[in-house]
Amino acid sequence: MKFLDQAKIYVRAGDGGRGCVSFRREKYIEFGGPDGGDGGKGGDIWAECVDALNTLIDYRYQQHFKAKNGTPGMGKNRAGAFGEEISLKLPVGTHIFEQDNKTLVADLSQLGQRVLLAKGGNGGFGNTHFKSSTNQAPRRANPGQVGEERWLWLRLKLIADAGLVGLPNAGKSTFLASVSAARPKIADYPFTTLNPHLGVVELDGSDFVLADIPGLIEGAHEGSGLGDRFLGHVEKCSVLLHLIDGTQDDIAGAYGTIQRELEAYGQQLLHKPQLLALNKCDALTPDAIDAKTNELETASGVRVYAISAASGKGIKEICRSVLAIIKDHRLSQTKTARRTAQKEKHVKWQPL
């Protein structure tokens, strides 16, 4: 199945049905009076967060969604039927934006979450609604209201606990394949990875989700290479794992390039916990590993892990470090949720 993480759609809710002008006409009933029913409400359009979806491919070939109109009212005080609503099934992590692609409408982060995208128009009143002591035979009814319509952008951000970042050919896909059951394409040329991949890493009785995104190059925030739009898939990660190809000459420059791109992208990516790893150490001598590790630690100011995704050297150690950060983050989120729930529980009602 093709991966698609962005789509533009048009939604239009149903119009309300018109009201009916009708009078009761039956034998032996001298004064029948008005009996026109109200029109039915137009169908709404909802966005619903569901499980078992990880792409927006369903919205690649159908971009227009129109709900049913409400049925007009009828005589004998019969109201029109409501228009059938439409529910758009979206994966967890979908952000919905206005047409400008900047104004956030909704963040679908929980299963079962529903958001109203377009409200159907109310049905018009029939002439029964307008009868009074001074107007006993009204000959007017309201038309139904027009349903809302709008263009929206859907942008998917995969939900992962940890994210792999680095230059092309840093060995990110090889790392993902070595620690999980994911099988991304692996080759010896840049930009082998064209779409993000997810893998579940199981370690010491626990597990976490690891995301591999296409490599970044200098100027990615300006559109160079594949650009930086795939960085959205690691925005919600607890930790970033930065891999650097140990066989290249300028490893400090490679580190600086990625840090500048993370800073240019924003969204607090640069301030997330980061683990730095010198990859492909199986192709280096022990002296070269020590020299390059020291050089990278001097440039970054943090500990550098010497690993080899191909041979498995140092893989478990760095995965344990990633898991420790993820567990701390999960515990912090749990405590925050509990405090919020306690505050809401003890807040007394006050009039507005």
DSSP 12-37: EPPPPPPP---B---TT-S---B-PP
Residues 255-299 pLDDT 10s = 998 888 888 888 778 888 899 999 999 888 889 999 999 999 898
Name 34's bridge partners: 23
Homologous superfamily (CATH) for 162-336: P-loop containing nucleotide triphosphate hydrolases (3.40.50.300)
Single-letter amino acid, residue 188: D
Which H/E stretch holds residue 156? strand 149-156
Share of the chain above pLDDT 70, in %: 92
Examine the pLDDT at 80 and tell me if it is beyond 90. Answer: yes
Q: What burial class does residue 26 get, using C-beta atoms within 10 Å of its C-beta: 0-12 exposed, 13-18 middle, 19+ buried?
A: exposed
CA distance 349 to 234: 39
Residues 183-210 pLDDT 10s = 877 766 667 677 788 888 888 888 888 9
Side-chain-facing half-sphere of 312: CA atoms under 13 Å: 4
Write phi, then psi, for 98 (nearest 5 degrees).
Answer: -65, 180
* Closest to 182 measured CA to CA, from 169, 198, 160: 198
Examine the pLDDT at 1 and tell me if it is beyond 60. Answer: no
Domain ranges of the chain: 1-128+143-156, 162-336
Are 269 and 235 spatial neighbours (Cβ–Cβ below 8 Å)? yes
Q: What burial class does residue 90 get, using C-beta atoms within 10 Å of its C-beta: 0-12 exposed, 13-18 middle, 19+ buried?
A: buried
* Topology (CATH) of 1-128+143-156: Spo0b-associated Gtp-binding Protein; Chain: A, (2.70.210)
Q: What is the pLDDT of residue 206?
A: 87
CA distance 200 to 299: 31
Residues 126-152 pLDDT 10s = 999 999 989 988 999 999 999 999 999
